């Protein structure tokens, strides 16, 4: 690499398709002399400190090994007597290898031997209270509520344990640690350490430069790299139940050709063309090609599976958070992206004007093989809790549901693999005008034309028709449901007059750019500017009908009684994709998605104003304001098909409603109606009032993609201080005080499962406005380079002999300290946040638990009565800060709270280096680098516990959660330069 440059707040029209900075990288070219570099950087266990997680869990310091090595060589192309490329043809070749073993310890919750036998007599919370397991076979209606009886002694009889579940038992991990203090005694009982993850990277680049003539030059460049990551994520290290990147491949090929012609001293023309091909492949090989028939699954099901894999088993709470560690992997993905580009450009100097312009053209081809649900079965507490439609901390258990075979959900995807394309055209021009000796203006204009995504065989949806009578109406029993009609359905591109694009072609993305620099005097410069930038996002639109998901039918009566689907899941058969042939009848009984046909490209206004001042001591200081406004931010809306507000209010316990009204089972007009096969609407003779009250009851929830409801505000004050090298010292420092606010266009939570919906309908819209997820209010960096005062031409040992000079002379020390204040906490979505829960002066250095939230949590039942959880009572709470919401309650989205912040980040790194001249043309560079010199443990990327039924809610348990930075690591480096 010859030159590396980061451009921020650029008002140059040459740059587009981004709202942030631009990185320019220029590879080194050869010359008439042979040059090269050979290097190795190494980390070893002996150089490292022990990570805090290993200390508190009494684990030995793990092995950590890193080798980064390579070479670069460049010079003239000489082919013996055949060709001498002196002054004409030059080459450069570079290779780098990278191999690292990194510890990735984790703590999981796994069932103990008693639980796997069905014995939950010792399943208790942190206060010692029994968590009761209820028998789904005893369900009955009592006082208008469906309730169940507990298993005697909290034990599932052996004859009730599902035979299929028994075949999975050998794949579970067994506890190897006691639960941390303050936690439920059955949680976090497996320490997975050291869990060494392998990361191997190979990178090669070559470049050939040709001086065709004094005025014409060209070069060709080719680069290849491959990265292979191997890491386990569920703690299982052998057999088909493993999960993780096993492996993850990233492979990249890129080629560039560049031609430059200088017409005269004032005009230069340049054409550059390139191709980039990127492959990402993520899978878990141990579970692939596994025959599920070995577990007892019916051969009739196995024969229909699109992918023969070990099933993925999820164990969840009723709220959807992880309760026990999973078995198996649920995805296998392959993505191939190819980008062709051409950029003809010119530069013309005319008097005080430096005029540049050109065209940026890119054509992108993307082939996607995404398999998100290979064979997934999920279990939660709902079928083993007392009341089927509430969440209670002392009811139910997902492993108990699993042993009974009572799956709560699942899916198998029968996917298609689209080939998507889009094109990008951007003519631009820039005039850097030196108006006077003191004033320079930068005037630019850019027009981005980004086509919508299209699929080569038109396998995409186009909008959702809300008015046309759905043909399935003719198959509904009109004697039982007289006059019953359903309207609406999915559209398809290039069908019935629809365009070939899933949304409109946004062609007016014109972007003015203006910047200025004014020299007030010899020591002071004022700079500023404004630019409009279009993001040109690429929306991978919906393709319902070409790929289809088969959902697990877990109940035929709205969740009251399970189908015990583990024994014979997906008995309705694996659905086959019909393409667009069914028209409006596509995806009946399912939850379709579609793109907003009026989607436009989001855009960003960027602006800045700053003053730079030259001070004594070779120091400059710059202070300025930098801001931006993002408009038409891309988001989505999952509330297209929710029942009317009036009905939801009748079911909302917080508004005096009764969930039983929405849960009431009514005759299902779609029962056994052709077109609904493979869904609960086909197999269930009844549906809940809530489901039948949807505007389009033939579908479940419907999601509109590619809305433009979001907005972002960013304001910052920035300070930069630089002291150039003098007296053997150079220093640099920055400080940014900023605030970033996001408004995503809404955020009501609606529906029986309290899922997040960005907005409901315009008349019922509640706007979400909160700190942006990555908002960090304060950021400070300080760095410096210090020439140690020893050796020749230094203060001490200036007359050193060769040996002393070799050992002590010529050393430099460099250090960098970084501080970021904490990001906002993302509040849980299944609670009301009713009272400020902020804890002042959080102790982020607590040796055990970082508590940032007052854990006063209440549970609202279906009658609207709120009761504090037992752990909150034990903590001395008298009223709740949070209330766990039952189904059908509606509230503004719990967004990121400005006051509750994650821990800050701070770290100090340092290195020592020395260059020794071995000969006049050969130098040896030695480096010793230390990262996190002060060995500070920080948790800035970690989330506070978000499960409100967990007694550690609102905390980071440092005995369970590993730090987000590395402990102190040492690295040695050696580089030979010739």
pLDDT in tens, 316-359: 987 778 999 999 999 999 999 999 999 999 999 999 999 999 99
Tell me, what DSSP letter sits at residue 478?
Answer: T
Both tokens of residue 369?
A: 């093989």
Judged by average pLDDT, the poorest of 14-28, 142-156, 630-644 is 14-28
Residue 165 scores a pLDDT above 70: yes
Give the model's pLDDT for residue 803: 82
Three-state SS at 578: coil
Angstrom distances, CA of residue 873 to CA of 122, 129, 492, 866, 880 = 22, 13, 56, 13, 10
Residue 748 scores a pLDDT above 50: no
Q: Evaluate whether 871 touches 204 at the Cβ level (below 8 Å).
A: no
From the CA atom positions of the chain, what is the Rg in Å?
A: 32
Report the alpha-carbon distance of residue 112 to residue 129 in Å, rounded: 18
Report the alpha-carbon distance of residue 151 to residue 119 in Å, rounded: 10
Q: Evaluate whether 411 touches 428 at the Cβ level (below 8 Å).
A: no
- At 77-114, the pLDDT tens digits run 999 889 998 999 999 999 999 999 999 999 999 999 99
Q: What's the rounded mean pLDDT across residues 522-530?
A: 97
What are the start-end ranges of the H helices in 644-774? 645-651, 659-663, 680-683, 689-692
The alpha carbon of residue 1 and the mean position of all alpha carbons in its chain are separated, in whole angstroms, by: 30
Residues 6+ apart with CB under 8 A from 944: 825, 850, 852, 853, 900, 902, 953, 954, 955, 956
Residues 6+ apart with CB under 8 A from 14: 345, 356, 358, 428, 430, 444
| pLDDT band of 830, cuts 50, 70, 90 | confident
Regarding beta strands 969-977 and 267-282, do their DSSP bridges make them parallel or antiparallel, or are they unpaired? unpaired
Q: What's the rounded mean pLDDT across residues 769-778?
A: 90
Judged by average pLDDT, the poorest of 2-16, 671-685, 760-774, 807-821 is 760-774
The alpha carbon of residue 357 and the mean position of all alpha carbons in its chain are separated, in whole angstroms, by: 36
Please report the DSSP string for 518-552 in residue order: EEEETTEEEEEEEEEEE---------BTTBEEEE-
Three-state SS at 7: strand
Report the alpha-carbon distance of residue 345 to residue 362 in Å, rounded: 14
Q: Evaluate whether 459 touches 543 at the Cβ level (below 8 Å).
A: yes
Report the alpha-carbon distance of residue 345 to residue 12 in Å, rounded: 14
Report the alpha-carbon distance of residue 801 to residue 918 in Å, rounded: 15
Considering only CA atoms, which of 262, 162, 259, 284 is closest in space to residue 214? 262
Q: Where are the domains of the chain?
A: 777-977
Give the model's pLDDT for residue 616: 93
Q: What's the rounded mean pLDDT across residues 831-855?
A: 92
Query: Quick one: what percent of the chain has pLDDT higher than 90?
Result: 80
Residues 6+ apart with CB under 8 A from 142: none
The Cβ-side half-sphere exposure at 19, using a 13 Å CA radius, reads: 20
Report the alpha-carbon distance of residue 791 to residue 788 in Å, rounded: 9
Report the alpha-carbon distance of residue 653 to residue 750 in Å, rounded: 13
Residue 884 scores a pLDDT above 50: yes
Three-state SS at 475: helix
Provide the 10 A C-beta neighbour count for residue 486.
Answer: 21
Give the model's pLDDT for residue 2: 61
Give the model's pLDDT for residue 808: 82
The alpha carbon of residue 204 and the mean position of all alpha carbons in its chain are separated, in whole angstroms, by: 28
Q: Evaluate whether 733 touches 783 at the Cβ level (below 8 Å).
A: yes
Report the alpha-carbon distance of residue 471 to residue 588 in Å, rounded: 11
Report the alpha-carbon distance of residue 444 to residue 426 in Å, rounded: 13
Give the model's pLDDT for residue 794: 84
Give the model's pLDDT for residue 751: 34
Residue 545 scores a pLDDT above 70: yes
Please report the DSSP string for 8-47 in residue order: -S---TT--S-SS-EEEEE-----SS-EEEEEEEEE-GGG
Please report the DSSP string for 308-348 in residue order: -BPPEEEEE-TTS-EEEEEES---EEEEEEEEEEEEEEEEE
Considering only CA atoms, which of 717, 707, 775, 718 is closest in space to residue 742? 775
Q: How far apart are the first and last CA of the chain?
A: 16
E-strand spans in 328-436? 332-350, 353-371, 376-379, 409-414, 419-434
Report long-range pairs for 166-174 (Cβ below 8 Å, ≥24 apart). Answer: 167/295, 167/296, 168/295, 168/313, 168/327, 168/402, 169/116, 171/236, 171/239, 171/240, 171/241, 171/327, 172/110, 172/111, 172/116, 172/327, 173/108, 173/110, 173/235, 173/236, 173/325, 174/110, 174/112, 174/113
Among 125-129, 144-148, 256-260, name the most confident range: 256-260
Compare 886 and 444 and report the one with higher pLDDT: 444
Considering only CA atoms, which of 522, 505, 357, 485 is closest in space to residue 426? 357
Report the alpha-carbon distance of residue 580 to residue 868 in Å, rounded: 52
Residues 6+ apart with CB under 8 A from 269: 260, 261, 263, 344, 345, 346
Helix (H) or strand (E) holding 807: helix 802-808
Residue 162 scores a pLDDT above 50: yes
Considering only CA atoms, which of 850, 832, 834 is closest in space to residue 842? 850
* Sign of the four-CA dihedral 130, 131, 133, 139: positive
Both tokens of residue 704?
A: 């509109």
Q: What's the rounded mean pLDDT across residues 486-511?
A: 96
Q: Evaluate whether 35 touches 73 at the Cβ level (below 8 Å).
A: yes
| pLDDT band of 892, cuts 50, 70, 90 | low
Report the alpha-carbon distance of residue 703 to residue 593 in Å, rounded: 5
Q: What's the rounded mean pLDDT across residues 260-268?
A: 96
Give the model's pLDDT for residue 752: 36
Give the model's pLDDT for residue 7: 66
The alpha carbon of residue 704 and the mean position of all alpha carbons in its chain are separated, in whole angstroms, by: 21
Q: Evaluate whether 443 touches 377 at the Cβ level (below 8 Å).
A: no
- At 457-488, the pLDDT tens digits run 999 999 999 999 999 999 999 999 999 999 99
The alpha carbon of residue 48 and the mean position of all alpha carbons in its chain are separated, in whole angstroms, by: 29
The alpha carbon of residue 634 and the mean position of all alpha carbons in its chain are separated, in whole angstroms, by: 16
- At 651-674, the pLDDT tens digits run 999 989 999 999 999 999 999 999
The residue count of the chain comes to 978
Compare 772 and 624 and report the one with higher pLDDT: 624
Q: What's the rounded mean pLDDT across residues 694-705?
A: 96
Q: Evaluate whether 973 touches 39 at the Cβ level (below 8 Å).
A: yes
Longest dimension (CA), the chain: 109
Query: Quick one: what percent of the chain has pLDDT higher than 70?
Result: 95
Residue 764 scores a pLDDT above 60: no
Tell me, what DSSP letter sits at residue 773?
Answer: T
Report the alpha-carbon distance of residue 711 to residue 94 in Å, rounded: 44
Residue 762 scores a pLDDT above 50: no
Give the model's pLDDT for residue 20: 65
Both tokens of residue 458?
A: 């038109």
Report the alpha-carbon distance of residue 748 to residue 88 in Å, rounded: 67
Residue 747 scores a pLDDT above 90: no
Q: Evaluate whether 480 touches 667 at the Cβ level (below 8 Å).
A: yes
Residue 763 scores a pLDDT above 60: no
Average pLDDT, whole number, for the chain? 92
Considering only CA atoms, which of 461, 446, 474 is closest in space to residue 500? 461
């Amino acid at each position: 690499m010859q030159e590396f440059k980061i451009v921020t707040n650029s008002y140059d029209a040459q740059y587009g398709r981004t709202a942030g900075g631009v990185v320019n990288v220029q590879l080194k070219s050869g010359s008439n002399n042979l040059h090269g570099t050979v290097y190795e950087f190494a980390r070893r266990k002996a150089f490292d400190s022990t990570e805090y997680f290993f200390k508190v869990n009494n684990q030995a310091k793990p092995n950590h090994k890193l080798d980064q090595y390579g070479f670069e060589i460049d010079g003239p192309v000489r082919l013996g007597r055949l060709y001498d490329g002196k002054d004409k043809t030059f080459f450069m070749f570079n290779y780098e290898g990278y191999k690292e073993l990194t510890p990735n310890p984790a703590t999981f919750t796994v069932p103990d031997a008693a639980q796997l036998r069905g014995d939950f007599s010792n399943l208790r919370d942190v206060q010692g209270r029994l968590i009761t397991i209820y028998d789904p076979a005893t369900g009955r209606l009592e006082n208008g509520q469906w309730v169940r009886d507990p298993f005697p002694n909290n034990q599932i009889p052996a004859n009730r344990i599902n035979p299929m579940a028994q075949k999975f038992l050998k794949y579970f991990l067994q506890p190897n640690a006691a639960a941390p203090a303050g936690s439920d005694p059955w949680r976090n009982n497996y320490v997975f350490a050291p869990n060494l993850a392998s990361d191997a990277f190979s990178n090669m680049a070559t470049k050939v430069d040709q001086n065709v003539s004094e005025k014409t030059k060209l070069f060709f460049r080719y680069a290849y790299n491959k990265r292979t990551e191997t890491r386990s994520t569920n703690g299982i290290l052998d057999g088909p139940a493993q999960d993780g990147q096993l492996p993850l491949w990233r492979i990249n090929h890129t080629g560039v050709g560049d031609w430059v012609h200088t017409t005269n001293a004032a005009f230069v023309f340049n054409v550059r063309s390139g191709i980039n091909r990127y492959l990402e492949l993520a899978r878990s090989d141990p579970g692939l090609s596994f025959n599920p028939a070995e577990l007892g699954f019916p051969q009739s099901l196995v024969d229909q599976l699109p992918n023969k894999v070990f099933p993925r088993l999820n164990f969840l709470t009723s709220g959807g958070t992880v309760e026990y560690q999973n078995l198996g992997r649920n995805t296998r993905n392959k993505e191939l992206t190819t980008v062709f580009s051409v950029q003809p450009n010119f530069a013309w100097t005319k008097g005080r004007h430096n005029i540049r312009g050109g065209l940026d053209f890119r054509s992108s081809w993307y082939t996607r093989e995404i398999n998100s649900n290979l064979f997934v079965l999920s279990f939660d507490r709902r079928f083993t809790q007392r009341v089927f439609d509430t969440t209670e901390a002392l009811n139910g258990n997902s492993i108990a549901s699993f042993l009974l075979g009572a799956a709560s959900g699942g899916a198998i995807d029968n996917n298609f693999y689209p080939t998507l394309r889009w094109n990008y055209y951007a003519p631009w021009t820039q005039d850097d005008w030196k108006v006077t000796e003191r004033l320079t203006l930068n005037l630019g204009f850019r027009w981005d034309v980004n086509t919508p995504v299209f699929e080569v065989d038109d396998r995409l949806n186009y909008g959702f028709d809300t008015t046309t009578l759905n043909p399935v109406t003719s198959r509904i029993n009109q004697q039982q449901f007289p006059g019953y009609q359903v309207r609406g359905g999915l559209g398809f591109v290039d069908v019935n007059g629809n365009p070939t694009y899933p949304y409109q072609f946004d062609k007016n993305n014109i972007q003015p750019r203006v910047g200025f620099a004014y020299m007030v005097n010899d020591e002071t410069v004022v700079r500023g500017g404004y630019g409009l930038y279009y993001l040109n996002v690429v929306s991978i639109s919906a393709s319902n009908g070409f790929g289809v998901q088969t959902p697990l039918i877990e109940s035929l009566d709205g969740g009251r009684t399970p189908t015990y689907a583990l024994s014979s899941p997906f008995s309705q058969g694996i659905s086959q994709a019909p393409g667009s042939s069914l028209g409006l009848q596509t995806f009946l009984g399912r939850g379709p998605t579609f793109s907003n046909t009026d989607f436009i490209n989001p855009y960003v206004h960027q602006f800045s104003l700053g003053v730079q001042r030259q001070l004594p001591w070779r120091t400059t200081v710059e202070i300025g304001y930098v801001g931006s406004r993002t408009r038409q931010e891309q988001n989505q809306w999952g509330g297209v098909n929710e029942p009317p507000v009036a009905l939801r209010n009748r079911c909302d316990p917080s508004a005096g409603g009764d969930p039983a009204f929405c849960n009431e089972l009514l005759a299902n007009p779609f029962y056994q109606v052709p077109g609904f096969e493979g869904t609960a609407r086909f197999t269930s003779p009844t549906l809940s009032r809530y489901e039948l009250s949807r505007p389009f009851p033939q579908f479940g929830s419907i999601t509109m993609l590619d809305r433009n409801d979001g907005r972002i505000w960013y304001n910052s004050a920035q300070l930069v201080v630089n002291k150039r090298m003098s007296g053997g010292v150079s220093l640099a420092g920055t400080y940014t005080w900023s605030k970033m606010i996001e408004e995503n266009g809404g955020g009501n939570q609606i529906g029986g499962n309290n899922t997040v919906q960005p907005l409901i309908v315009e008349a019922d819209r509640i706007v979400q406005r909160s700190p942006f997820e990555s908002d960090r209010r304060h950021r400070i960096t300080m760095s410096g380079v210090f020439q140690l005062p020893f050796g020749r031409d230094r203060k001490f040992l200036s007359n050193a002999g060769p040996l002393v000079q070799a050992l002590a002379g010529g050393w430099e020390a460099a250090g960098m300290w970084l501080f970021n204040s904490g990001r906002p906490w993302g509040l849980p979505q299944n609670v009301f946040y009713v009272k400020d829960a902020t804890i002042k002066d959080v102790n982020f250095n607590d040796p055990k638990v970082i508590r940032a939230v007052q854990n006063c949590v209440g549970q609202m039942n279906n009658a609207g009565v709120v009761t504090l959880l037992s752990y909150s009572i034990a903590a001395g709470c008298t009223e709740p800060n949070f209330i766990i919401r039952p189904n059908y309650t509606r509230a503004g989205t719990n967004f990121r709270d400005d006051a509750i912040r994650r821990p800050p980040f701070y770290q100090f790194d340092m290195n020592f280096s020395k260059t020794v001249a071995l000969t006049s043309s050969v130098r040896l560079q030695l480096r010793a680098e230390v990262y996190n010199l002060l060995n500070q443990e920080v948790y800035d990327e970690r989330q506070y516990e978000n499960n409100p039924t967990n007694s550690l809610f609102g905390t980071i348990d440092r005995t369970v959660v590993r730090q987000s930075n590395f402990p102190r690591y040492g690295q040695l480096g050696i580089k030979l330069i010739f």
